[in-house]
Structure 1
Amino acid sequence: MINMTTLCTSHSEFCRKGFYHTCKLLGISSLLLLGGCASFQSNPTELSVQRQIERQQKVYELTEEPQKQEKLTLKEYEALGDRYLIQNDIEKAYMNYVKALAIDPNKISLLHKQGKILGKKNRHADAEKVYRFLLAKSEEDALAYEGLGQALLGLKKIKAAEDALLTAIALDDELWRAHHFLALIYGTEQQYGRAVKEFKKALSYRPQDSSLLNNLAVTYYLNGQYAEAEKILTILTRNSKDKKVYNNLAIVCVQRGKFEKALSAFKRGTKDEAYAYNNIGFEYLTHRRYKEAIVALEKALELNPQFYPTAYESLEKARKGLALTTATLKEEPL
């Protein structure tokens, strides 16, 4: 099974059953900008965010080392948080952003950074509060709509997430992440044409992004467009060491009957050759190519006997399949 990767969550998290309602872009924009944003103006949201900041500030004061800390300015706390964020130390980055927000709870740049880190920490409900707080301040904040869409995806509120993301790109079409998230939604809803369109839009702003390219290839695969998927994945493997990409290419090649190329890709995408031969052996078996399956599975067992339980079971099926096929051919009249 090919896995579709995302920036914030896995493909399977957003799968759901039933008809996926879609609206025209202008209709959704009008709904959220005019009607939907009324809820953003409520004082409880603002109080909730302020209390969250105060609570987090107290937590960090209690957990800090008992040594005298020099008080910094808001600008210095934010710069220090940015530095930690670049180093991918999100806990220290978050701590400094919270300290800065304690000085000015309404600083827009800090609120955006807080929301982003809350998303990274999978605290989607808290992130949603921050982005709604931002939208209460400005209904034209495209990045806040994008962040809100991501938070709602994390909360599995798929339709609301789609609405927020569509509003984001209506305000700023260059938000490639919003296009990516929309593509993931449409892909999980099996609306592959729409998913491809959104992936291509995201790639128009990030043409070298390997995750976007891989996900576009996966979407082509799921839609039965194997040639397009193979083309993209083959190009990706020229400069990628990501095993996921090689495994995806192998599975696509199997669907196109290119078993030798699939085996080569499996060798690059698995721990060792034994895994590769076991995988291709199973694929041969699935496609009733019993002779090739037997050769591959015997090779897997020769290279690594630990495959004995699973590989031997597949090997026995291949042998029985070959025997049955041979017997059937003998019984057929000339």
Structure 2
Amino acid sequence: MLIAQSQTSGDPDAMIYAYTQALAFDDFEPVDIYLNIARLERQRNNNARAEQAYRSALEEDAKRRDAKEGLALLLIDMKRHDEAETLLLDVVTTDMARLEQSSEQAGECVTDANSPWRSYNGLGLLADILEQGQQARKHYQCALNIQPGMAMLHTNLGFSYYLEGEYPQAERALLRAVNQEPDYERAWSNLGLLYYRWGRSSEALAALRKIMTQAEALNDLGYIALMEGEYESAASLFQRAIDASPRYYPRAVENLNQAKSMQAISKR
């Protein structure tokens, strides 16, 4: 009853309190309770408490795949990459044993509908962080074998290609993402970034316009140019953003001033 009331309120503090109280009763599965607590703590950016909840879940059931994956993805965010990799590889190895696949065959990525796509995706993220792009894309492809229609996975694959400068492959993957989920903001944002770096500025603007106003899109493109050291282009884009905004746009004004300042410094 207390859990239902807290869920209705939508208050994370009340929900965490309710789940904590539920641990005292035998009517609830403690692993599920701890996982719900971990999810709420992550939403509140309380990573230490989220980690504690995930570990409590694993103390209750060391074989729970969702607990291992949740903890591993949290550890990636906390930049504890070795610990995360150990957990994810454990999940994948267990699944390979279920499918009677030997470690020598691991590169073949034998999966079925019940295989751990989250773990393969997490291993892809880790490989990209370590600048191991080819390995990352193998992991993403394994995840896509399991969940071929998931926009997030196509987006991660596309961004991995982008990081390696393989723009045509990146474009194909990102277009698959937006075809699967037309409102997926990260895919459109990555397409905008890709097209701008590819020298296709009008297409970059069109991609960003799918998820934001004209002024916001121009400001974002200006920021990309600023990070690239293209100060004159950045200043022009920020000015266009200011002109396109129906009201005062302080962020674009601040960015314009920064671009002009950096442009002046670069000419000294």
Q: Tell me the TM-score normalised to structure 2 length.
A: 0.67
Query: CA 1:185 to 1:115, structure 2 compared with 1: closer, same or farther past 3 Å?
Result: farther
Query: CA 1:227 to 1:84, structure 2 compared with 1: closer, same or farther past 3 Å?
Result: farther
Tell me by how many angstroms 1:297 deviates.
4.9
Larger radius of gyration: 1
CA distance in 1, matches of 2:31, 2:22: 13
CA distance in 1, matches of 2:11, 2:36: 10
Query: CA 1:201 to 1:169, structure 2 compared with 1: closer, same or farther past 3 Å?
Result: same
The reply to whether residue 114 of structure 1 matches residue 41 of structure 2 is no
The reply to whether residue 311 of structure 1 matches residue 256 of structure 2 is yes
Identify the residue that residue 246 of structure 1 maps to in structure 2.
Answer: 188
Counterpart of 1:166 in structure 2: which amino acid?
Answer: L
Partner of 2:210, secondary structure, is: helix
Tell me by how many angstroms 1:154 deviates.
6.0
Partner of 1:172, secondary structure, is: helix
Tell me by how many angstroms 1:251 deviates.
0.8
Identify the residue that residue 169 of structure 2 maps to in structure 1.
Answer: 228
Aligned length in residues: 235
- Tell me which of 115, 122, 140 is aligned to 1:199: 140
Identify the residue that residue 43 of structure 1 maps to in structure 2.
Answer: none
- More contact order relative to length (CA 8 Å, sep ≥ 6): 1
Identify the residue that residue 151 of structure 2 maps to in structure 1.
Answer: 210
After superposition, give the CA deviation of every residue in 1:117-166 in whole Å (9 maximum; x if it has no partner).
2321232123213303422xxxx554454355346546654212211221
CA distance in 1, matches of 2:221, 2:78: 38
Q: Is contact 1:203-1:212 (8 Å) kept?
A: yes
CA distance in 2, matches of 1:244, 1:164: 27
Farther-moved stretch of structure 1 (227-236 vs 238-247): 238-247
Q: Is contact 1:180-1:212 (8 Å) kept?
A: yes
CA RMSD across the alignment: 4.1
After superposition, give the CA deviation of every residue in 1:9-44 in whole Å (9 maximum; x if it has no partner).
xxxxxxxxxxxxxxxxxxxxxxxxxxxxxxxxxxxx
CA distance in 1, matches of 2:78, 2:235: 47
Identify the residue that residue 118 of structure 2 maps to in structure 1.
Answer: 177
CA distance in 2, matches of 1:85, 1:111: 18
In the alignment, structure 1 segments of 5+ residues that lack a partner are 1-76, 325-334
- Tell me which of 50, 72, 79 is aligned to 1:149: 72
- Tell me which of 158, 166, 169 is aligned to 2:81: 158
Counterpart of 2:90 in structure 1: which amino acid?
Answer: T
Query: CA 1:278 to 1:318, structure 2 compared with 1: closer, same or farther past 3 Å?
Result: farther
